[in-house]
């Protein structure tokens, strides 16, 4: 069973609204990454946090923002939602360094109407 | 050109068959290679992880990397209906902070 927990599992929002997605990392993992997975596509990197600091960002606009807390849990915030933001949002954690064995959560399915 | 190319399938095989899943990548800077399995409505689950050319075996699964051809493969022996899922290849750079995924291949193993 995965050690990464995401909430909520499903969410429906209206275009223009704001949303906050939450992630609880696997115990001992200080690095958390967020990915967006559109239907029929592979996950796309949004950004990564390491020890509460952003540590790299993919090709996503500034209305996608995040936070990592001292207990290594994390939030993904999306402002001014657009229809194309409808996707599965995945949180992944690892112990940092060169270990690419990311553990993914089950994701939050966001639908923007 | 996408950094990672993967045939989306779907691929349908009979139970017990050997399955071959493949990806190509464009950048020789990628040095870490992974295969993830994703069941419907679930997050990706790491199956295999390697950072060198050659083969790595784990039970019924074998990952193969050919850096000279920029080609990675996953073989599944004695496939089972429970192997029915989407298989994602992913690559990463040494010292990098992200994984780059293929689009995923949908596999169905039929009784």
pLDDT tens digit sequence for A14-33: 999 999 999 998 777 889 99
Smallest Cβ–Cβ distance between B34 and the set A41, A90, A100 belongs to A100
Residues of chain A contacting B85 with CB distance shorter than 8 Å: none
Residues of chain A above pLDDT 90, percent: 78
Q: Are A47 and A58 in contact (CB under 8 A)?
A: yes
Residue predicted with more confidence, A53 or B1: A53
Q: Report the distance separating Cα A12 and Cα A31, nearest Å.
A: 28
pLDDT of A58-109, one tens digit each?
999 999 999 999 988 999 999 999 999 999 999 999 876 545 678 899 999 9
Query: DSSP code of A96?
Result: S
Q: Which of residues 38-97 of A touch B (CB under 8 A)?
A: 40-45, 48, 50, 55-56, 58, 90, 92
pLDDT value of residue B41: 85
Enumerate residue ranges in chain B where pLDDT < 50.
none
């Amino acid at each position: 069973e995965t050690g990464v927990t995401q909430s909520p599992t499903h969410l429906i929002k209206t275009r223009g609204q704001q949303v906050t997605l939450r992630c609880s990392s696997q115990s001992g993992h200080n690095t958390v990454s967020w990915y967006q997975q559109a239907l029929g596509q592979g996950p796309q990197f949004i950004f990564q946090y390491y020890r509460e600091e952003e540590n790299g960002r993919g090709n996503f606009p500034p209305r996608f923002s995040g936070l990592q807390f001292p207990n290594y849990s994390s939030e993904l915030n999306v402002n001014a939602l657009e229809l194309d933001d409808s996707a599965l949002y995945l949180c992944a954690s690892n112990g940092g360094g060169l270990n690419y064995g990311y553990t993914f959560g089950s994701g939050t399915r966001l639908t923007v109407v | 050109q996408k950094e990672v190319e993967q045939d989306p399938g779907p691929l349908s095989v009979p139970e017990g068959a050997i399955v071959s899943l493949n990806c190509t990548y464009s950048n020789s800077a990628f040095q870490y290679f992974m295969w993830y399995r994703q069941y419907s409505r679930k997050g990706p689950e790491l199956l295999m992880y390697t950072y060198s050319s050659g083969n790595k075996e784990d039970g019924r699964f074998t990952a193969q990397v050919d850096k000279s051809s920029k080609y990675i493969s996953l073989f599944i022996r004695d496939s089972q209906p429970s192997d029915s899922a989407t298989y994602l290849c992913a690559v990463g750079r040494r010292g990098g902070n992200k994984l780059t995924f293929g689009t995923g291949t949908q596999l169905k193993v039929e009784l």
